[in-house]
Structure 1
């Protein structure tokens, strides 16, 4: 199966941009070849769904809002009560999850072709995304692996912190190019690299 064409198109320009004379503040890249599955658990089945996600992915998740796990190219995070994003670089993710989670436990939607994942990393990543979202991105308020659902104007975004300086931003493919350009503008003052 061919890799889907990036929605970023000509807006994706590799190299250094903005005010990078004093160094690069952030790096931007599009994460590709991911499976993205959204799971919604029925209210009384949340513990069973979390156990099933753990058995299918090896990522054990506690039943606490926003809590998540990251291991290499796979991750899981809650972004609303009973709602979870499960992400992996393996094409059989949906099959493994469907074998572990029955319709009696909740619903599952494959968002792989409906979302674009933009990774922002670097020492000024918190600063740059704080310009776009009214969220405290400091590590005590938004710890590693934590996830949130939010908006930048009308662009819905799911965000997960990957490590101290890195965040994954999940946006609808139809808004990806516009959001990418907005993110670039927000990063201009600190200098950014597109990889």
Structure 2
């Protein structure tokens, strides 16, 4: 009998040898594992129906601009007109019940969490958007690039904490680039793969 498929991290085999300083760190970098991720696209002419279904099921108003809206374990991050990246930390979340085109991305993308007092400074070396608090605040989102890797970025809180979704095949490279960007600025990173 074949072994069942088991979800595996895109990072652990590649970043297990990274070392973490013992002192205080200006940057905390970790993989956000166990997420349910889905790309949700409204069907033509049924945007209002989808918005109502999301409101009823999750208590969330779908963002209509580059924003993240969350309630409890579930969040919807704007990904373009009529499109969202739905995330949930509850493993049994089934977004396919929504009246929309839904594509499961749980094993296709990796989400990194970048936080700490020097997170903004570190990311600013890789990302070509203004991350200053007056331009990019909690709840804001962007589809952009970190160096040459396409990412979906959103700010979670004022700490600041950012979450970055990328295709899993680029996760280890993005991880290393963030670590190197911090080290280039003498920022010690605490790594939590």
TM-score, normalised to structure 1, is 0.84
Partner SS for 1:181: helix
Q: Judge conservation of contact 1:50–1:62 (CA < 8 Å) in 2.
A: no
**Structure 2 CA distance, aligned partners of 1:122 and 1:2?**
35
Larger relative contact order, structure 1 or 2 (CA cutoff 8 Å, min sep 6) = 1
2:109 to 101, 115, 122: 115
The CA RMSD over aligned residues, in Å, is: 2.2
Describe how 1:154-193 pairs up with structure 2 within 5 A: 154-164=148-158, 165-188=160-183, 189-193=186-190
2:140 to 135, 143, 146: 146
**Structure 2 CA distance, aligned partners of 1:100 and 1:180?**
33
| CA displacement at 1:87 relative to structure 2 | 0.4
Q: What 5-or-longer segments of structure 1 have no aligned partner? A: none
Partner SS for 1:44: coil
Q: What 5-or-longer segments of structure 2 have no aligned partner? A: none
Describe how 1:63-82 pairs up with structure 2 within 5 A: 63=64, 65-71=65-71, 73-82=73-82
1:100/1:42 Cα in 2 relative to 1: closer, same or farther (>3 Å)?
closer
Partner SS for 1:90: coil
**Structure 1 CA distance, aligned partners of 2:52 and 2:111?**
26
Number of residues paired by the alignment? 185
Q: 54-63 or 160-169: which moved more?
A: 54-63
Partner SS for 2:20: strand
1:12/1:45 Cα in 2 relative to 1: closer, same or farther (>3 Å)?
farther
Partner SS for 1:128: helix
| CA displacement at 1:150 relative to structure 2 | 1.0
Partner SS for 2:46: helix
**Structure 2 CA distance, aligned partners of 1:49 and 1:72?**
19
